[in-house]
Amino acid sequence: MIKLWMAPGGLHIEPGKMGDAKDLARIHAQGFYRGWPAGEFEGFLAEANTPVYVACDAKRRIAGFALIRVVEDESELLTIAVDPKWRGKRVGEALLRAVFDDLLLTPAKRMFLEVSEENAAAIKLYTRQGFATISSRKGYYAKADGSAATALVMARDLG
């Protein structure tokens, strides 16, 4: 079965491939203080329970991606990142819609995520997509200035 979802700006969303690891690491590093190396993405891409969804154009230039983990009836958004030139164009929203659509084919009933309480754009996106804050983790995210930000733990039901 071919998995494809439409996305804005002439992009589409499809499953990630092993050859995407370097692009995923580059985009992730542009969005997070501590980006993950390509080798870590290769590990996720090799595992069946950590699917990656990439938003790309017809030449497979990646504009953003979402990485999840599925374990029995729960799923977790491990990370989502959008190339800076594509931010604000609803790519993240399209990625989440593709993830939710694909999760309908799994036993997953609920999705969890963690987000810095300082990331207003991401919190707004997650809230629009039906997530609600269920707890927090003080000092969870390291920041460039040496301090740490609190993570909000959010969840939403699927299906």
Task: Give me the pLDDT at residue 142, please.
Answer: 86
pLDDT score of 63: 98
User: What pLDDT, on the 0 to 100 scale, is given for residue 33?
Assistant: 87
Instruction: State the pLDDT at residue 148.
Output: 92
Choice among 53, 76, 114, 141 that is catalytic: 114
Q: How far is CA 95 from CA 13, 70, 132, in A?
A: 7, 16, 19
pLDDT tens column, 55-77: 999 999 999 999 999 999 999 99
Instruction: For residue 5, give Cα distances in angstroms to 44, 138, 150.
Output: 21, 36, 33
Per-residue pLDDT, 143: 87
Sole residue written with tokens 């980006």 = 35
Does residue 140 have an active-site annotation? no
Cβ pair 89, 1 in contact under 8 A: no
Per-residue pLDDT of the chain (159 residues; tens, 9 = 90+): 689 999 999 999 999 999 999 999 999 999 998 899 999 999 999 999 999 999 999 999 999 999 999 999 999 999 999 999 999 999 999 999 999 999 999 999 999 999 999 999 999 999 999 999 999 999 998 888 989 999 999 999 997
14 is catalytic: no
Q: Give the model's pLDDT for residue 100.
A: 97
Catalytic residue selected from 53, 76, 126, 141: 126
Q: What are the helix (H) ranges across the chain?
A: 21-31, 38-46, 91-103, 120-128
pLDDT of residue 144: 86
CA atoms within 13 A on the CB side of 40: 12
- What local confidence, expressed as pLDDT, does residue 89 receive? 96
CA atoms of 96 and 130, how far apart (whole Å): 11
